[in-house]
Amino acid sequence: MRHIIAILMQNEAGALARVAGMFSARGYNIESLTVATTHDPSISRLTLVTTGDDAVIAQIINQSRKLVDVLEIADLTSREHLESELLIVKVASTPETSTRIADFTHRRYGITLDETPSTRTLQFTGRGAHISGVLDDLAAFAPVLELARSGTAALDRGDLVLALQD
């Protein structure tokens, strides 16, 4: 099953590698990983998406919680949560397709970040499935030249806040 794991950790060299190592050491592939500093600059938040056996993942989470740099870790999968992802994609543009690309981008709540006579660079956000759908539809009429996806970021829905239990 797909798991979305949120981790708060000290913003230290090596901390990210240690957490990632807990998964790679078991041969688990990390599908996506986003990490950035939070509103507290000493703390980073990491969202990790992986697929695997529930019991094994529960064990990895328990063992990751022992890492000295880790402040809190939670599997958001089974809780109500919000997911979002960012896509930046560069497509080929011709005089025939440019209007259609602009319309499509507008309709799918995207932004045009950059344009040249032969390319358009677009940005879309939303759940991973939504982003994938956007990409498929876009690629159907505008050849994709390159793209970067941020990977999933996630938060609990509602009042629940992931924070160090004190």
Partner 1 sequence: MNAQLEATPEPGAHPLAGTPMTGADIVVQVLADEGVGVVFGYSGGAILPVYDAVFRFNHEHPNADGSEPLPLIVPANEQGAGFMAQGYARASGKVGVALVTSGPGATNTVTPVRDAMADSIPIVVICGQVPTAAIGTDAFQEAPISNIMASCAKHVFLVTDAAQLEATLRTAFEIARTGRPGPVVIDIPKDVQNAPLVFAGEGQLAIPGYRARLRAIEDAELDEAACARFVDALAQAKRPLLYVGGGVVAAEATAALRTFAQALGIPVTTTLMGLGAADTTEALSLHMLGMHGTAFANYAVEDCDFVIAVGARFDDRVAGVPSQFAAGARFIAHLDVDPAEIHKVKRVDWHHLGDLSRALDALRRHAAARGFDPSGVGTWSDWHAHLADLKHTYAMAYDRANPRIQPYAVIEAINRLTRGEVIVSTGVGQHQMWAAQYFDFTQPRRWLTSGSMGTMGFGLPAAIGAQFARRDLLVVDIDGDASIRMNLGELETVTTYGLPVKVVVLNNCGDGMVRQWQKLFFKGRFSATDKSLHKKDFIKAAQADGFEYAVRLDRPEDVDRVVAEFIAFPGPAFLEVMIDPDAGVYPMVGPGMTYGQMITGDHIPSRAPAPAKEAGPSEMF
Residues lying near partner 1 in the complex (CB under 8 A) are found at 8-10, 13-14, 17-18, 21, 25, 42, 59, 62-63, 65-72, 164-166
At 143, give phi and psi (nearest 5°): -60, 130
Question: What is d(CA 41, CA 46) in angstroms, rounded to the nearest whole number?
Answer: 14
Shortest separation between residue 13's beta carbon and partner 1, angstroms: 7
Among 30, 32, 144, 155, residue whose Cα is nearest residue 88: 144
At 60, give phi and psi (nearest 5°): -60, -40
Shortest separation between residue 67's beta carbon and partner 1, angstroms: 8
Measuring CA to CA, how many Å separate 69 from each of 5, 66, 153, 161?
16, 9, 20, 19
**Nearest CB to partner 1, comparing residues 64 and 93:** 64
Shortest separation between residue 72's beta carbon and partner 1, angstroms: 7
**Nearest CB to partner 1, comparing residues 58 and 111:** 58
**Nearest CB to partner 1, comparing residues 38 and 59:** 59
What is the Rg, in whole angstroms, of the alpha carbon atoms belonging to the chain? 19
**Nearest CB to partner 1, comparing residues 11 and 98:** 11
Shortest separation between residue 163's beta carbon and partner 1, angstroms: 11
